């Protein structure tokens, strides 16, 4: 099977698992079992037996609460901390959860639109369509946490409900789309997408490459390197994050 055929098969597998029709109600429906189960920690089990990315789970939970009306920051934080649980990597060292969560919301204008003084938040246009596409990409990466080759075929069907500008970008340059909107969970390196590692026993991530982010020239093996080039999730300088993980693995 050629690389293009492999990419097309990957896209077909991903496209076969959309949330529903692209509506906000449909997008959160399939995550309901996960949010009710609320497994504390960094992993959650999706209702179909697969894993739901911990960042995506928090995003879905917030949109679930915003269905009827805008929600206050404090209400969203309380819900995120209780179900499915706020991932520990979202907080910088010594940072309060409220400050970390406010940054989490404000860094996602494609999902959450703040009200006056950022006191309340409501869903941004196209939020459900974006989470559908993000879910499909992350689902593929969770099946193979090492890496998947980036091909235009992966973005062949970006799903209904995506904001028109974001849809145009995804179709025109899926590489730029991933670099702009998915880099919190997925990392583009040498033509491959990799899942950014986080603490979990449900997935096995490859060892961290000690050269990619800590040397000026990066990894000299490039695309041939089978180690992880995606920086671990967390707040701080990439070099520091990578060095900490390399020390833990050595």
Whole-number pLDDT of residue 238 = 78
Whole-number pLDDT of residue 104 = 95
Whole-number pLDDT of residue 152 = 42
Whole-number pLDDT of residue 202 = 86
Whole-number pLDDT of residue 71 = 96
pLDDT tens-digit series, residues 1-49:
333 343 334 334 433 333 434 444 554 554 443 333 333 222 333 444 4
* Tokens linked to 241: 């994050």
Whole-number pLDDT of residue 25 = 55
CA 11 to chain centre: 17
Whole-number pLDDT of residue 49 = 43
Whole-number pLDDT of residue 240 = 82
* Tokens linked to 42: 């960094």
* Tokens linked to 132: 């559908």
User: Which residues in the chain land under pLDDT 50?
Assistant: 1-24, 27, 30-49, 152-153, 155
| Global pTM value | 0.79
Long-range contacts of 135-138 (CB under 8 A, 24+ apart): 135/17, 135/19, 135/52, 135/53, 135/56, 136/14, 136/15, 136/17, 136/18, 137/14, 137/178, 137/182, 137/186, 137/193, 138/53, 138/56, 138/185, 138/186, 138/195
């Amino acid at each position: 099977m050629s690389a293009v055929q492999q990419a097309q098969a990957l896209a077909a597998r991903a496209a076969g698992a959309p949330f529903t029709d692209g509506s906000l109600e449909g997008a959160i429906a399939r995550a309901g079992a996960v949010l009710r189960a609320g497994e504390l920690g960094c992993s959650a089990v999706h209702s179909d037996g697969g894993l739901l990315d911990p960042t995506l789970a928090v995003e879905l939970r917030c949109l679930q609460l915003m269905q009827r009306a805008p929600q206050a920051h404090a209400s969203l934080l309380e819900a995120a901390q209780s179900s499915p649980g706020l991932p520990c990597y979202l907080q910088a060292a010594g940072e309060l959860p409220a400050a970390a969560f406010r940054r989490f919301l404000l860094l996602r204008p494609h999902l959450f639109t703040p009200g006056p003084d950022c006191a309340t938040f409501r869903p941004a246009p196209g939020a459900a369509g974006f989470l559908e596409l993000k879910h499909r990409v992350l689902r593929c990466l969770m099946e193979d946490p090492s890496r998947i080759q980036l091909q235009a075929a992966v973005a062949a069907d970006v799903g209904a409900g995506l904001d028109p500008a974001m849809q145009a970008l995804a179709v025109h340059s899926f590489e730029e789309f991933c670099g702009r909107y998915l880099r919190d969970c997925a990392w583009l390196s040498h033509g491959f997408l990799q899942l950014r590692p986080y603490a979990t026993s449900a997935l096995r991530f490859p060892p961290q490459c000690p050269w990619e982010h800590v040397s000026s020239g990066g990894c000299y093996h490039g695309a041939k390197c089978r180690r992880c080039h995606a920086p671990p999730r967390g707040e701080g300088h990439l070099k520091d994050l990578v060095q900490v993980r390399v020390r833990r693995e050595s």
